[in-house]
Amino acid sequence: MYWTLELATYLEDAPWPCTTSELLDYANRSGAPMEVIENLQEIEDEETNWESIEDIWPDYPSKDDFLWNEDEF
């Protein structure tokens, strides 16, 4: 399983919290790429309630990780 920022953005509007099967359903209905669906299918625990993308991909960068200073512009 691998995640990129582009793939993770397809799950940003998912109905959090949700289970893996609900995420799969959401990804299918929203037209997410096959890579997203394959990543979700690799999650073994179907009944875990995921609170956010950070639970699935712990290295998901937060807004604080970017060095963008809005006050400069």
Residue 72 has pLDDT above 80, yes or no: no
Determine the Cα–Cα distance for residues 5 and 35; give it in Å rounded to an integer.
12
**Helix orientation angle between 34-41 and 20-30, rounded to the nearest 10 degrees:** 170
pLDDT digits (tens, 9 = 90+) for 4-39: 889 999 998 999 999 999 999 999 999 999 999 999
Token pair of 42 as six digits: 């690799």
pTM of the complete model:
0.79
Structure confidence at residue 64 as a pLDDT band (50, 70, 90) = low
Residue 46 has pLDDT above 90, yes or no: no
Mean residue pLDDT of the chain comes to 86
Q: Which one is predicted more confidently, 61 or 20?
A: 20
Q: What is the DSSP string of 6-36?
A: HHHHTTTTS-SSB-HHHHHHHHHHHT--HHH
